[in-house]
Chain A
Amino acid sequence: MPADLFAQALNGLSYGVLLFLLSVGLTLIFGMLDVVNLAHGSFYMLGAYAGLTLIAATGSFWLALAAAPIVVGLVGALIERSCLRPLYRRGPLDQVLLTFGLIYVFEDLVKWMWGGRIRSIPPPEIFSGSVNLLGATIPSYRVFVIVFGFVMALALWLVIERTRVGAIIRAGVFDAEMSAGMGINVSRVFTMVFAFGAALAGMSGVIAGPIQSAYPPMGASILIPGLIVVAVGGLGSLKGSLAGSLLIGQAETFGKAWLPGASMMIIYAVMALILLVRPQGLFGRALR
Protein backbone atom coordinates (compact mmCIF):
# COMPACT_ATOMS: atom_id res chain seq x y z
CA MET A 1 0.00 0.00 0.00
CA PRO A 2 2.71 2.58 0.83
CA ALA A 3 4.32 1.80 -2.53
CA ASP A 4 1.01 2.46 -4.22
CA LEU A 5 0.65 5.68 -2.28
CA PHE A 6 4.13 6.71 -3.33
CA ALA A 7 3.37 5.98 -6.98
CA GLN A 8 0.21 8.10 -6.75
CA ALA A 9 2.13 10.93 -5.16
CA LEU A 10 4.71 10.85 -7.96
CA ASN A 11 1.93 10.86 -10.57
CA GLY A 12 0.47 13.88 -8.86
CA LEU A 13 3.88 15.49 -8.75
CA SER A 14 4.50 15.08 -12.48
CA TYR A 15 1.04 16.50 -13.25
CA GLY A 16 1.80 19.34 -10.85
CA VAL A 17 5.02 20.10 -12.74
CA LEU A 18 3.13 20.38 -16.02
CA LEU A 19 0.64 22.71 -14.35
CA PHE A 20 3.46 24.76 -12.89
CA LEU A 21 5.17 25.40 -16.23
CA LEU A 22 1.80 26.35 -17.68
CA SER A 23 0.69 28.57 -14.83
CA VAL A 24 3.92 30.57 -14.48
CA GLY A 25 3.13 32.36 -17.72
CA LEU A 26 -0.52 32.72 -16.85
CA THR A 27 0.21 34.30 -13.52
CA LEU A 28 3.02 36.60 -14.77
CA ILE A 29 0.90 37.72 -17.72
CA PHE A 30 -1.95 38.47 -15.38
CA GLY A 31 0.24 40.19 -12.84
CA MET A 32 2.00 42.39 -15.36
CA LEU A 33 -0.27 42.85 -18.34
CA ASP A 34 -3.52 42.57 -16.38
CA VAL A 35 -4.74 40.08 -18.98
CA VAL A 36 -6.43 36.78 -18.21
CA ASN A 37 -5.05 34.90 -21.18
CA LEU A 38 -7.65 32.23 -21.95
CA ALA A 39 -5.56 31.19 -24.95
CA HIS A 40 -2.74 30.09 -22.68
CA GLY A 41 -3.81 26.46 -22.98
CA SER A 42 -3.48 26.86 -26.74
CA PHE A 43 0.24 27.54 -26.32
CA TYR A 44 0.47 24.29 -24.39
CA MET A 45 -1.26 22.49 -27.27
CA LEU A 46 0.94 24.23 -29.86
CA GLY A 47 3.99 23.13 -27.87
CA ALA A 48 2.92 19.50 -27.96
CA TYR A 49 2.29 19.58 -31.73
CA ALA A 50 5.43 21.58 -32.50
CA GLY A 51 7.29 18.97 -30.46
CA LEU A 52 5.63 16.17 -32.42
CA THR A 53 6.74 17.63 -35.74
CA LEU A 54 10.24 18.51 -34.54
CA ILE A 55 10.78 15.01 -33.17
CA ALA A 56 9.67 13.56 -36.50
CA ALA A 57 11.94 15.96 -38.40
CA THR A 58 15.06 15.76 -36.25
CA GLY A 59 14.63 12.40 -34.55
CA SER A 60 15.63 13.96 -31.26
CA PHE A 61 13.34 14.64 -28.32
CA TRP A 62 15.92 16.97 -26.79
CA LEU A 63 16.18 19.18 -29.86
CA ALA A 64 12.39 19.36 -29.93
CA LEU A 65 12.29 20.25 -26.24
CA ALA A 66 14.72 23.10 -26.91
CA ALA A 67 13.22 24.37 -30.17
CA ALA A 68 9.45 24.00 -29.68
CA PRO A 69 9.27 26.56 -26.84
CA ILE A 70 11.09 29.06 -29.07
CA VAL A 71 8.54 28.53 -31.84
CA VAL A 72 5.65 28.92 -29.42
CA GLY A 73 7.28 31.96 -27.84
CA LEU A 74 7.49 33.62 -31.25
CA VAL A 75 3.80 32.89 -31.84
CA GLY A 76 3.12 34.43 -28.44
CA ALA A 77 5.10 37.56 -29.28
CA LEU A 78 3.18 37.89 -32.53
CA ILE A 79 -0.16 37.56 -30.74
CA GLU A 80 0.80 40.13 -28.13
CA ARG A 81 1.95 42.66 -30.72
CA SER A 82 -0.93 42.22 -33.14
CA CYS A 83 -3.98 41.44 -31.01
CA LEU A 84 -3.47 42.24 -27.34
CA ARG A 85 -1.60 45.50 -27.64
CA PRO A 86 -4.61 47.50 -28.87
CA LEU A 87 -6.68 46.21 -25.93
CA TYR A 88 -4.66 47.25 -22.89
CA ARG A 89 -6.66 50.43 -22.43
CA ARG A 90 -9.98 48.65 -22.76
CA GLY A 91 -11.92 46.61 -20.23
CA PRO A 92 -11.20 42.99 -19.40
CA LEU A 93 -14.25 41.74 -21.31
CA ASP A 94 -12.69 42.54 -24.67
CA GLN A 95 -9.66 40.48 -23.67
CA VAL A 96 -11.94 37.60 -22.70
CA LEU A 97 -13.65 37.64 -26.08
CA LEU A 98 -10.36 37.98 -27.96
CA THR A 99 -8.47 35.23 -26.15
CA PHE A 100 -11.53 32.97 -26.27
CA GLY A 101 -11.61 33.52 -30.03
CA LEU A 102 -7.94 32.60 -30.20
CA ILE A 103 -8.70 29.26 -28.51
CA TYR A 104 -11.01 28.41 -31.41
CA VAL A 105 -8.54 29.69 -34.01
CA PHE A 106 -5.58 27.72 -32.68
CA GLU A 107 -7.53 24.54 -32.05
CA ASP A 108 -8.92 24.53 -35.56
CA LEU A 109 -5.58 25.40 -37.13
CA VAL A 110 -4.03 22.44 -35.33
CA LYS A 111 -6.85 20.18 -36.52
CA TRP A 112 -6.27 21.46 -40.02
CA MET A 113 -2.53 20.93 -40.01
CA TRP A 114 -2.19 17.78 -37.92
CA GLY A 115 -5.67 16.20 -38.06
CA GLY A 116 -8.04 15.64 -35.16
CA ARG A 117 -6.75 12.23 -34.08
CA ILE A 118 -4.85 11.55 -30.87
CA ARG A 119 -1.13 11.43 -31.70
CA SER A 120 1.12 9.66 -29.27
CA ILE A 121 4.61 11.03 -28.67
CA PRO A 122 7.32 8.54 -27.65
CA PRO A 123 9.48 9.44 -24.67
CA PRO A 124 13.22 9.89 -25.35
CA GLU A 125 15.05 6.60 -25.46
CA ILE A 126 16.98 6.91 -22.19
CA PHE A 127 13.70 7.40 -20.33
CA SER A 128 11.60 4.80 -22.11
CA GLY A 129 11.95 2.21 -19.33
CA SER A 130 10.86 2.29 -15.73
CA VAL A 131 12.60 2.44 -12.40
CA ASN A 132 11.95 0.86 -9.05
CA LEU A 133 11.56 3.43 -6.29
CA LEU A 134 10.61 2.38 -2.73
CA GLY A 135 8.95 -0.75 -4.05
CA ALA A 136 6.91 1.07 -6.69
CA THR A 137 7.51 0.76 -10.42
CA ILE A 138 7.58 4.23 -11.96
CA PRO A 139 8.06 5.06 -15.64
CA SER A 140 11.46 6.72 -15.64
CA TYR A 141 10.11 9.48 -17.92
CA ARG A 142 7.92 10.65 -15.04
CA VAL A 143 10.92 10.88 -12.78
CA PHE A 144 12.64 12.96 -15.44
CA VAL A 145 9.60 15.25 -15.71
CA ILE A 146 9.58 15.83 -11.96
CA VAL A 147 13.31 16.57 -11.78
CA PHE A 148 13.12 18.76 -14.87
CA GLY A 149 10.22 20.69 -13.35
CA PHE A 150 12.06 21.40 -10.15
CA VAL A 151 15.20 22.45 -12.00
CA MET A 152 13.05 24.81 -14.09
CA ALA A 153 11.39 26.18 -10.94
CA LEU A 154 14.80 26.88 -9.43
CA ALA A 155 16.06 28.48 -12.65
CA LEU A 156 12.95 30.66 -12.88
CA TRP A 157 13.32 31.71 -9.29
CA LEU A 158 16.95 32.67 -9.89
CA VAL A 159 16.04 34.62 -13.02
CA ILE A 160 13.20 36.48 -11.40
CA GLU A 161 14.76 37.11 -7.98
CA ARG A 162 18.42 37.52 -8.86
CA THR A 163 18.76 39.16 -12.28
CA ARG A 164 18.14 42.61 -13.64
CA VAL A 165 15.51 41.33 -16.07
CA GLY A 166 13.80 39.59 -13.17
CA ALA A 167 13.79 42.80 -11.17
CA ILE A 168 12.15 44.60 -14.10
CA ILE A 169 9.51 41.89 -14.34
CA ARG A 170 8.82 42.05 -10.60
CA ALA A 171 8.55 45.82 -10.81
CA GLY A 172 6.13 45.47 -13.72
CA VAL A 173 3.96 42.99 -11.84
CA PHE A 174 3.91 45.28 -8.84
CA ASP A 175 3.05 48.44 -10.75
CA ALA A 176 3.45 48.61 -14.52
CA GLU A 177 2.61 52.30 -14.75
CA MET A 178 5.20 53.28 -12.18
CA SER A 179 7.82 51.14 -13.91
CA ALA A 180 7.14 53.02 -17.13
CA GLY A 181 7.55 56.24 -15.20
CA MET A 182 10.97 55.06 -14.02
CA GLY A 183 12.15 54.85 -17.60
CA ILE A 184 11.63 51.17 -18.30
CA ASN A 185 10.45 50.32 -21.78
CA VAL A 186 7.36 48.57 -20.46
CA SER A 187 5.90 47.86 -23.85
CA ARG A 188 8.94 45.78 -24.83
CA VAL A 189 8.88 44.03 -21.46
CA PHE A 190 5.19 43.21 -22.00
CA THR A 191 5.98 41.46 -25.27
CA MET A 192 8.89 39.68 -23.65
CA VAL A 193 6.87 38.43 -20.69
CA PHE A 194 4.01 37.28 -22.90
CA ALA A 195 6.39 35.43 -25.24
CA PHE A 196 8.24 33.97 -22.28
CA GLY A 197 5.03 32.73 -20.68
CA ALA A 198 3.89 31.26 -24.00
CA ALA A 199 7.25 29.51 -24.40
CA LEU A 200 6.99 27.95 -20.94
CA ALA A 201 3.45 26.74 -21.74
CA GLY A 202 4.82 25.31 -24.98
CA MET A 203 7.59 23.58 -23.04
CA SER A 204 4.97 22.13 -20.73
CA GLY A 205 3.16 20.83 -23.82
CA VAL A 206 6.30 19.13 -25.16
CA ILE A 207 7.04 17.29 -21.93
CA ALA A 208 3.33 16.45 -21.50
CA GLY A 209 3.40 14.76 -24.93
CA PRO A 210 4.81 11.37 -23.89
CA ILE A 211 2.47 11.28 -20.86
CA GLN A 212 -0.82 12.49 -22.30
CA SER A 213 -0.31 12.34 -26.09
CA ALA A 214 -1.30 15.25 -28.32
CA TYR A 215 -4.93 15.96 -29.23
CA PRO A 216 -6.53 19.24 -30.31
CA PRO A 217 -8.79 19.90 -27.30
CA MET A 218 -5.87 19.40 -24.89
CA GLY A 219 -5.35 23.15 -24.71
CA ALA A 220 -8.90 23.92 -23.71
CA SER A 221 -8.93 21.13 -21.13
CA ILE A 222 -5.72 22.21 -19.34
CA LEU A 223 -6.87 25.84 -19.23
CA ILE A 224 -9.26 25.47 -16.30
CA PRO A 225 -6.83 23.58 -14.03
CA GLY A 226 -4.24 26.23 -14.96
CA LEU A 227 -6.59 29.06 -13.97
CA ILE A 228 -7.40 27.24 -10.75
CA VAL A 229 -3.69 27.00 -9.92
CA VAL A 230 -3.27 30.71 -10.51
CA ALA A 231 -6.26 31.59 -8.33
CA VAL A 232 -5.22 29.20 -5.57
CA GLY A 233 -1.61 30.38 -5.57
CA GLY A 234 -2.38 34.06 -5.84
CA LEU A 235 -2.37 36.17 -9.00
CA GLY A 236 1.06 37.29 -10.09
CA SER A 237 2.97 35.15 -7.60
CA LEU A 238 5.65 32.69 -8.77
CA LYS A 239 5.78 31.00 -5.37
CA GLY A 240 2.01 30.70 -5.36
CA SER A 241 2.10 29.21 -8.80
CA LEU A 242 4.45 26.46 -7.60
CA ALA A 243 2.53 25.78 -4.39
CA GLY A 244 -0.81 25.87 -6.23
CA SER A 245 0.26 23.47 -8.95
CA LEU A 246 1.73 20.95 -6.51
CA LEU A 247 -1.43 21.12 -4.41
CA ILE A 248 -3.80 20.81 -7.37
CA GLY A 249 -1.67 18.04 -8.90
CA GLN A 250 -1.95 15.97 -5.72
CA ALA A 251 -5.64 16.78 -5.20
CA GLU A 252 -6.48 15.68 -8.74
CA THR A 253 -4.48 12.42 -8.55
CA PHE A 254 -5.59 11.37 -5.07
CA GLY A 255 -9.16 12.42 -5.79
CA LYS A 256 -9.25 10.03 -8.71
CA ALA A 257 -7.78 7.20 -6.63
CA TRP A 258 -9.72 7.65 -3.42
CA LEU A 259 -12.98 9.34 -4.31
CA PRO A 260 -13.79 8.12 -7.79
CA GLY A 261 -17.44 9.09 -7.32
CA ALA A 262 -16.60 12.73 -6.65
CA SER A 263 -13.21 12.99 -8.38
CA MET A 264 -14.34 15.64 -10.83
CA MET A 265 -15.23 18.16 -8.17
CA ILE A 266 -12.14 17.82 -5.97
CA ILE A 267 -10.00 20.54 -7.52
CA TYR A 268 -12.95 22.94 -7.65
CA ALA A 269 -13.79 22.20 -4.04
CA VAL A 270 -10.16 22.81 -3.04
CA MET A 271 -10.14 26.12 -4.88
CA ALA A 272 -13.49 27.23 -3.45
CA LEU A 273 -12.34 26.38 0.07
CA ILE A 274 -9.05 28.26 -0.30
CA LEU A 275 -10.64 31.32 -1.87
CA LEU A 276 -13.31 31.46 0.84
CA VAL A 277 -10.73 31.33 3.62
CA ARG A 278 -8.08 33.40 1.82
CA PRO A 279 -9.66 35.35 -1.04
CA GLN A 280 -6.31 36.54 -2.41
CA GLY A 281 -4.96 32.99 -2.77
CA LEU A 282 -2.12 31.38 -0.84
CA PHE A 283 0.62 33.85 -1.80
CA GLY A 284 -1.36 36.70 -3.32
CA ARG A 285 -1.19 40.26 -2.17
CA ALA A 286 -4.19 41.36 -0.11
CA LEU A 287 -7.03 42.72 -2.20
CA ARG A 288 -6.98 46.41 -2.79
Chain B
Amino acid sequence: MRGRAAGLALVVAAVAGFPLLAGTYPVKLLQEILIFGIFAMSLDLLMGYAGMVSFGHSAFFGIGAYAAALALVKWPGLTAALLVPAAAAALGALVIGFFCIRVSGVYFIMLTLAFSQMFYAVAFQNAFVGAEDGITGVPRPAVLGLDIGSPARFHGYLMVIIGLAALFVWRVARSPFGHVLRGIHENEPRMQAVGYPVHRYKLLAFMVAGTVAGLAGSLYTQFQGSVSPDAFFWTTAGEALLMVIIGGTGTLGGAFLGAAAFILLQSLVSSYTERWMLILGLTFVLLVLFAPGGIVGALRGRVGLRA
Protein backbone atom coordinates (compact mmCIF):
# COMPACT_ATOMS: atom_id res chain seq x y z
CA MET B 1 0.00 0.00 0.00
CA ARG B 2 2.81 2.42 0.87
CA GLY B 3 4.56 1.52 -2.37
CA ARG B 4 1.40 2.30 -4.23
CA ALA B 5 0.99 5.71 -2.59
CA ALA B 6 4.61 6.53 -3.36
CA GLY B 7 4.10 5.46 -6.96
CA LEU B 8 1.01 7.63 -7.26
CA ALA B 9 2.85 10.62 -5.78
CA LEU B 10 5.64 10.07 -8.29
CA VAL B 11 3.19 10.01 -11.19
CA VAL B 12 1.45 13.18 -9.94
CA ALA B 13 4.79 14.94 -9.58
CA ALA B 14 5.84 13.86 -13.06
CA VAL B 15 2.56 15.07 -14.58
CA ALA B 16 2.84 18.37 -12.70
CA GLY B 17 6.44 18.95 -13.70
CA PHE B 18 6.01 17.81 -17.30
CA PRO B 19 5.49 21.32 -18.80
CA LEU B 20 8.88 22.39 -17.33
CA LEU B 21 10.66 19.74 -19.40
CA ALA B 22 8.60 19.27 -22.52
CA GLY B 23 7.46 21.44 -25.40
CA THR B 24 3.96 22.65 -26.22
CA TYR B 25 2.85 19.63 -28.24
CA PRO B 26 3.74 16.92 -25.70
CA VAL B 27 2.05 18.99 -22.97
CA LYS B 28 -1.10 19.20 -25.08
CA LEU B 29 -1.01 15.44 -25.57
CA LEU B 30 -0.67 14.93 -21.83
CA GLN B 31 -3.62 17.24 -21.16
CA GLU B 32 -5.72 15.40 -23.69
CA ILE B 33 -4.79 12.12 -22.01
CA LEU B 34 -5.84 13.49 -18.62
CA ILE B 35 -9.20 14.70 -19.94
CA PHE B 36 -9.98 11.47 -21.78
CA GLY B 37 -8.62 9.53 -18.82
CA ILE B 38 -11.20 10.97 -16.43
CA PHE B 39 -13.89 10.53 -19.10
CA ALA B 40 -12.97 6.85 -19.49
CA MET B 41 -12.71 6.46 -15.71
CA SER B 42 -16.30 7.61 -15.31
CA LEU B 43 -17.32 5.00 -17.89
CA ASP B 44 -15.34 2.36 -16.02
CA LEU B 45 -17.38 3.08 -12.89
CA LEU B 46 -20.43 2.19 -14.95
CA MET B 47 -18.91 -0.77 -16.85
CA GLY B 48 -16.48 -2.27 -14.39
CA TYR B 49 -18.53 -1.81 -11.24
CA ALA B 50 -22.20 -1.67 -12.18
CA GLY B 51 -21.73 -3.91 -15.23
CA MET B 52 -23.58 -1.43 -17.44
CA VAL B 53 -21.72 -1.28 -20.77
CA SER B 54 -22.78 1.99 -22.35
CA PHE B 55 -22.15 2.90 -25.95
CA GLY B 56 -23.62 6.34 -25.45
CA HIS B 57 -21.38 7.86 -22.82
CA SER B 58 -20.53 10.57 -25.34
CA ALA B 59 -24.00 12.02 -24.64
CA PHE B 60 -22.79 13.37 -21.29
CA PHE B 61 -19.37 14.35 -22.56
CA GLY B 62 -21.14 16.36 -25.25
CA ILE B 63 -23.74 17.85 -22.92
CA GLY B 64 -20.96 19.04 -20.61
CA ALA B 65 -18.93 20.33 -23.53
CA TYR B 66 -21.83 22.28 -25.03
CA ALA B 67 -23.13 23.54 -21.68
CA ALA B 68 -19.66 24.87 -20.89
CA ALA B 69 -19.32 26.50 -24.30
CA LEU B 70 -22.72 28.20 -24.08
CA ALA B 71 -22.21 29.32 -20.49
CA LEU B 72 -18.57 30.40 -20.72
CA VAL B 73 -19.26 32.73 -23.63
CA LYS B 74 -21.63 34.67 -21.34
CA TRP B 75 -20.04 34.31 -17.88
CA PRO B 76 -16.41 33.18 -18.00
CA GLY B 77 -16.21 31.99 -14.38
CA LEU B 78 -15.96 28.75 -12.43
CA THR B 79 -19.74 28.38 -12.21
CA ALA B 80 -19.95 28.25 -15.99
CA ALA B 81 -16.86 26.09 -16.30
CA LEU B 82 -17.72 23.41 -13.75
CA LEU B 83 -21.10 23.74 -12.07
CA VAL B 84 -23.31 24.36 -15.10
CA PRO B 85 -21.85 21.53 -17.24
CA ALA B 86 -21.92 19.06 -14.35
CA ALA B 87 -25.51 19.94 -13.52
CA ALA B 88 -26.58 19.74 -17.16
CA ALA B 89 -24.92 16.36 -17.58
CA ALA B 90 -26.48 15.08 -14.36
CA LEU B 91 -29.91 16.14 -15.57
CA GLY B 92 -29.27 14.53 -18.96
CA ALA B 93 -28.18 11.32 -17.26
CA LEU B 94 -31.30 11.34 -15.08
CA VAL B 95 -33.57 11.52 -18.12
CA ILE B 96 -31.63 9.11 -20.38
CA GLY B 97 -30.95 6.76 -17.49
CA PHE B 98 -34.61 6.66 -16.54
CA PHE B 99 -35.34 5.02 -19.90
CA CYS B 100 -32.17 2.97 -20.37
CA ILE B 101 -31.77 1.21 -17.02
CA ARG B 102 -34.91 -0.84 -17.67
CA VAL B 103 -33.06 -2.94 -20.23
CA SER B 104 -29.68 -4.64 -20.05
CA GLY B 105 -26.95 -6.19 -22.14
CA VAL B 106 -26.98 -5.47 -25.85
CA TYR B 107 -30.28 -3.61 -25.56
CA PHE B 108 -28.76 -1.24 -23.01
CA ILE B 109 -25.85 -0.69 -25.40
CA MET B 110 -28.19 0.09 -28.29
CA LEU B 111 -30.52 2.34 -26.29
CA THR B 112 -27.68 4.43 -24.87
CA LEU B 113 -26.27 4.66 -28.40
CA ALA B 114 -29.64 5.86 -29.69
CA PHE B 115 -29.92 8.64 -27.13
CA SER B 116 -26.38 9.88 -27.67
CA GLN B 117 -26.91 9.96 -31.43
CA MET B 118 -30.13 11.91 -31.04
CA PHE B 119 -28.12 14.54 -29.21
CA TYR B 120 -25.56 14.39 -32.03
CA ALA B 121 -28.31 14.99 -34.58
CA VAL B 122 -29.72 17.92 -32.61
CA ALA B 123 -26.27 19.50 -32.24
CA PHE B 124 -25.47 18.88 -35.90
CA GLN B 125 -28.70 20.26 -37.31
CA ASN B 126 -29.48 23.27 -35.09
CA ALA B 127 -28.17 26.74 -35.71
CA PHE B 128 -28.36 27.94 -32.12
CA VAL B 129 -25.51 25.59 -31.16
CA GLY B 130 -23.61 26.34 -34.36
CA ALA B 131 -24.86 23.29 -36.29
CA GLU B 132 -22.02 21.26 -37.80
CA ASP B 133 -19.38 23.89 -37.04
CA GLY B 134 -20.11 23.87 -33.31
CA ILE B 135 -19.17 26.77 -31.07
CA THR B 136 -15.78 28.41 -31.39
CA GLY B 137 -13.94 31.14 -29.50
CA VAL B 138 -14.88 29.86 -26.04
CA PRO B 139 -12.87 31.78 -23.41
CA ARG B 140 -11.17 30.03 -20.51
CA PRO B 141 -12.68 30.88 -17.15
CA ALA B 142 -11.11 33.12 -14.52
CA VAL B 143 -10.43 31.01 -11.41
CA LEU B 144 -10.87 32.91 -8.15
CA GLY B 145 -9.95 36.10 -9.94
CA LEU B 146 -6.91 34.48 -11.58
CA ASP B 147 -6.61 34.36 -15.34
CA ILE B 148 -5.72 30.81 -16.45
CA GLY B 149 -4.97 31.71 -20.03
CA SER B 150 -1.29 30.85 -19.68
CA PRO B 151 -0.33 27.22 -20.42
CA ALA B 152 1.28 26.66 -17.02
CA ARG B 153 -1.73 27.89 -15.06
CA PHE B 154 -4.15 25.96 -17.22
CA HIS B 155 -2.10 22.81 -16.65
CA GLY B 156 -2.33 23.32 -12.90
CA TYR B 157 -6.06 23.99 -13.09
CA LEU B 158 -6.63 20.82 -15.16
CA MET B 159 -4.61 18.73 -12.73
CA VAL B 160 -6.51 19.95 -9.69
CA ILE B 161 -9.96 19.46 -11.21
CA ILE B 162 -9.15 16.07 -12.74
CA GLY B 163 -7.40 14.94 -9.56
CA LEU B 164 -10.43 15.82 -7.47
CA ALA B 165 -12.78 14.17 -9.94
CA ALA B 166 -10.66 10.98 -10.00
CA LEU B 167 -10.56 10.95 -6.20
CA PHE B 168 -14.34 11.33 -6.17
CA VAL B 169 -14.89 8.41 -8.56
CA TRP B 170 -12.43 6.28 -6.60
CA ARG B 171 -14.19 7.09 -3.31
CA VAL B 172 -17.60 6.27 -4.83
CA ALA B 173 -16.30 2.93 -6.09
CA ARG B 174 -14.89 2.09 -2.65
CA SER B 175 -17.99 3.23 -0.77
CA PRO B 176 -20.84 0.96 0.34
CA PHE B 177 -22.66 2.30 -2.72
CA GLY B 178 -19.87 1.00 -4.93
CA HIS B 179 -20.06 -2.41 -3.28
CA VAL B 180 -23.78 -2.59 -3.95
CA LEU B 181 -23.06 -1.78 -7.60
CA ARG B 182 -20.62 -4.67 -7.74
CA GLY B 183 -23.22 -6.91 -6.18
CA ILE B 184 -25.69 -5.89 -8.90
CA HIS B 185 -23.04 -6.66 -11.51
CA GLU B 186 -22.44 -10.12 -10.07
CA ASN B 187 -26.03 -11.11 -9.44
CA GLU B 188 -28.83 -8.67 -9.99
CA PRO B 189 -31.80 -10.89 -9.07
CA ARG B 190 -30.15 -11.77 -5.77
CA MET B 191 -29.51 -8.12 -4.91
CA GLN B 192 -33.12 -7.41 -5.69
CA ALA B 193 -34.26 -10.30 -3.55
CA VAL B 194 -32.11 -9.12 -0.67
CA GLY B 195 -34.06 -5.88 -0.83
CA TYR B 196 -31.87 -3.39 -2.61
CA PRO B 197 -33.78 -1.01 -4.89
CA VAL B 198 -31.65 -2.10 -7.83
CA HIS B 199 -33.08 0.35 -10.34
CA ARG B 200 -32.49 3.32 -8.10
CA TYR B 201 -28.87 2.24 -7.57
CA LYS B 202 -28.33 1.81 -11.29
CA LEU B 203 -29.86 5.19 -12.06
CA LEU B 204 -27.70 6.86 -9.46
CA ALA B 205 -24.58 5.15 -10.85
CA PHE B 206 -25.58 6.31 -14.32
CA MET B 207 -25.94 9.87 -13.03
CA VAL B 208 -22.62 9.87 -11.16
CA ALA B 209 -20.81 8.57 -14.24
CA GLY B 210 -22.67 11.01 -16.48
CA THR B 211 -21.85 13.97 -14.26
CA VAL B 212 -18.12 13.20 -14.27
CA ALA B 213 -18.27 12.65 -18.04
CA GLY B 214 -19.92 16.06 -18.37
CA LEU B 215 -17.11 17.59 -16.38
CA ALA B 216 -14.62 15.93 -18.72
CA GLY B 217 -16.51 17.36 -21.70
CA SER B 218 -16.43 20.80 -20.18
CA LEU B 219 -12.67 20.56 -19.61
CA TYR B 220 -12.26 19.47 -23.23
CA THR B 221 -14.11 22.57 -24.40
CA GLN B 222 -11.85 24.74 -22.25
CA PHE B 223 -8.79 22.86 -23.53
CA GLN B 224 -9.76 23.34 -27.17
CA GLY B 225 -11.48 26.69 -26.89
CA SER B 226 -14.25 25.24 -29.04
CA VAL B 227 -16.69 22.37 -29.30
CA SER B 228 -18.10 20.47 -32.27
CA PRO B 229 -20.90 17.90 -32.65
CA ASP B 230 -18.20 15.20 -32.74
CA ALA B 231 -18.22 15.37 -28.94
CA PHE B 232 -21.57 13.56 -29.10
CA PHE B 233 -20.67 11.13 -31.89
CA TRP B 234 -20.64 7.42 -31.16
CA THR B 235 -16.94 7.19 -31.99
CA THR B 236 -16.25 9.39 -28.94
CA ALA B 237 -18.15 6.90 -26.80
CA GLY B 238 -16.46 4.01 -28.60
CA GLU B 239 -13.00 5.41 -27.97
CA ALA B 240 -13.75 5.80 -24.26
CA LEU B 241 -14.96 2.19 -24.25
CA LEU B 242 -11.73 1.06 -25.91
CA MET B 243 -9.66 3.06 -23.44
CA VAL B 244 -11.39 1.34 -20.53
CA ILE B 245 -10.90 -2.13 -22.03
CA ILE B 246 -7.30 -1.44 -23.03
CA GLY B 247 -6.50 -0.14 -19.56
CA GLY B 248 -8.32 -2.95 -17.82
CA THR B 249 -12.04 -2.97 -17.01
CA GLY B 250 -12.93 -2.42 -13.38
CA THR B 251 -9.54 -1.03 -12.41
CA LEU B 252 -10.46 2.70 -12.55
CA GLY B 253 -6.82 3.83 -12.76
CA GLY B 254 -6.45 1.69 -15.87
CA ALA B 255 -8.66 4.20 -17.68
CA PHE B 256 -5.80 6.72 -17.63
CA LEU B 257 -3.35 4.10 -18.91
CA GLY B 258 -5.80 3.14 -21.63
CA ALA B 259 -6.28 6.79 -22.61
CA ALA B 260 -2.51 7.27 -22.68
CA ALA B 261 -1.96 4.17 -24.80
CA PHE B 262 -4.74 5.11 -27.22
CA ILE B 263 -3.82 8.78 -27.67
CA LEU B 264 -0.06 8.19 -27.79
CA LEU B 265 -0.41 5.36 -30.30
CA GLN B 266 -2.71 7.44 -32.45
CA SER B 267 -0.58 10.59 -32.47
CA LEU B 268 2.88 9.00 -32.49
CA VAL B 269 2.18 6.36 -35.11
CA SER B 270 0.31 8.82 -37.31
CA SER B 271 3.29 11.16 -37.28
CA TYR B 272 5.54 8.39 -38.62
CA THR B 273 3.34 6.56 -41.05
CA GLU B 274 0.14 6.94 -43.00
CA ARG B 275 -0.78 3.43 -41.96
CA TRP B 276 -1.58 4.34 -38.35
CA MET B 277 -5.08 2.87 -38.47
CA LEU B 278 -3.70 -0.50 -39.48
CA ILE B 279 -1.17 -0.43 -36.66
CA LEU B 280 -3.72 0.77 -34.10
CA GLY B 281 -6.19 -1.90 -35.20
CA LEU B 282 -3.59 -4.67 -35.12
CA THR B 283 -2.55 -3.50 -31.66
CA PHE B 284 -6.12 -3.93 -30.42
CA VAL B 285 -6.35 -7.38 -31.97
CA LEU B 286 -3.05 -8.53 -30.49
CA LEU B 287 -3.91 -6.98 -27.14
CA VAL B 288 -7.12 -8.98 -26.97
CA LEU B 289 -5.48 -12.21 -28.08
CA PHE B 290 -2.37 -12.00 -25.94
CA ALA B 291 -3.03 -9.57 -23.08
CA PRO B 292 -6.55 -10.15 -21.78
CA GLY B 293 -7.37 -7.96 -18.82
CA GLY B 294 -5.81 -4.89 -20.42
CA ILE B 295 -2.65 -3.10 -19.41
CA VAL B 296 -3.39 -3.37 -15.70
CA GLY B 297 -4.14 -7.07 -16.15
CA ALA B 298 -0.82 -7.56 -17.91
CA LEU B 299 1.00 -5.57 -15.23
CA ARG B 300 -0.50 -7.76 -12.55
CA GLY B 301 1.09 -10.65 -14.37
CA ARG B 302 -2.02 -12.75 -14.64
CA VAL B 303 -5.39 -12.59 -16.26
CA GLY B 304 -7.49 -9.95 -14.44
CA LEU B 305 -9.70 -10.96 -11.58
CA ARG B 306 -12.82 -9.71 -13.32
CA ALA B 307 -13.98 -10.45 -16.84
Contacts and interface: CB of A to CB of B under 8 A. Distances in A.
Contacts of B107: 231, 275, 279-280, 287
A262 B47 CA distance: 31
A224 interface: yes
Interface of B: 47, 53, 99, 102-104, 106-107, 109-111, 113-115, 117-118, 120-122, 124-125, 234, 238, 241-242, 245-246, 249, 275-278, 280-285, 287-289, 292, 307
**Quick one: which of B53, B102, B242, B278 has the most chain A CB within 10 A?**
B278
A111 B120 CA distance: 27
B285 A93 contact: no
Leading 7 A-B pairs by shortest Cβ distance: A101-B284, A104-B281, A265-B121, A264-B121, A105-B281, A91-B307, A108-B278
17 contacts: A83-B288, A87-B288, A90-B307, A91-B307, A93-B249, A97-B245, A100-B242, A104-B281, A105-B277, A105-B281, A107-B277, A108-B281, A265-B121, A276-B111, A279-B102, A279-B103, A287-B103
Contacts of B117: 224, 264-265, 268
A227 B277 contact: no
Nearest to A265: B121
Contacts of B280: 101, 104
A264 B123 CA distance: 10
Contacts of B53: 92-93
B275 A97 contact: no
Given A36-B106, A261-B125, A102 B285 contact: yes
Given A96-B245, A224-B113, A271-B114, A101 B125 contact: no
Contact of B285 (A83, A107, A261): A83
Contacts of A287: 103-104, 107
A165 interface: no
Contacts, number: 124
Given A87-B288, A101-B284, A272-B99, 16 more contacts: A91-B307, A93-B53, A93-B245, A94-B245, A104-B278, A104-B281, A105-B277, A105-B285, A107-B281, A108-B275, A108-B276, A108-B278, A263-B121, A268-B118, A269-B114, A279-B107
Contacts of B234: 224
Given A97-B246, A105-B285, A264-B124, A271 B110 contact: yes
Interface size class of A (residues with CB under 8 A): 35 or more
**Quick one: which of B107, B249, B288 has the most chain A CB within 10 A?**
B288
A46 to B, nearest CB: 14
A199 interface: no
**Interface of chain A, helix or strand or loop or mixed?**
helix
A181 interface: no
A272 B111 contact: yes
Contact of A30 (B106, B113, B275, B292): B106
Contacts of B275: 108, 112
A28 interface: no
Contacts of A93: 47, 53, 245, 249, 307
Given A231-B107, A275-B107, A98 B249 contact: no
Interface string A10-41: 00000000000000000000100000100000
A107 B107 CA distance: 27
Given A224-B234, A264-B120, A112 B110 contact: no
A26 to B, nearest CB: 11
A104 B239 CA distance: 12
A276 B108 CA distance: 11
B118 A105 contact: no
